[in-house]
Chains A and B, each alone.
Chain A
């Protein structure tokens, strides 16, 4: 049985390819009884980052390493980089909701318009 920590779980479910057919292509015969999804975590193939209209910018100089942004992110799109002692954002999943910027007690995170 695989043991994994919360952080490893985040990394291990990242997937680009899915073996599940798209809904529009599925016939009733393709659907698993009870609607069971046998490829767990394939929500990771759906990059909710494409919804973003604002992007968080992180200033590692100002950051006080309180971990509040990590805790509050609803998409688990923020994670610690232990080697560099900074937080990193996964822009595949960051929806630009701005909660991290709102919660940061030292204003190390600011929201910028996407694409700038």
Chain B
């Protein structure tokens, strides 16, 4: 089972990212669950969403404490807390940032596998808004190879209707522009 934790701010679509990933996995015949860290939410407040993907039915319903994948949708979240808390030794941290790997590693004291993409820039260029959820799905697919961009297209279409094509474009651009960094198993 792969456990993924999405960190965002209310209104940025972190929950939607988790849902899209789960739906794509389910479409391809796997089992998956996705859910937000429940609570009263408001725009701008830090939120966390979870997704689990497995070949067996997912019975685990608690929050994710040892994620295999951590996705950070908003670079400013790195200033608040360490989103990589609890990440598994071979896990991967995927961050939306315009900074380089060294800056991120230093700030979080993180030595593991890393994937970086300037999702804000892509989202602004393609969608005209810094809403990075769909962009980061592209980075997730590139970094984990858990799903394919192709498998996400149907869930995107169901979810976004008319604006699906632009979101798919954002996802594809992120897939191309994500940089992967090996890490030390910690």
Are chains A and B touching directly in their complex (CB below 8 angstroms)? Answer: no
Chain A residues proximal to chain B, CB less than 8 Å: none
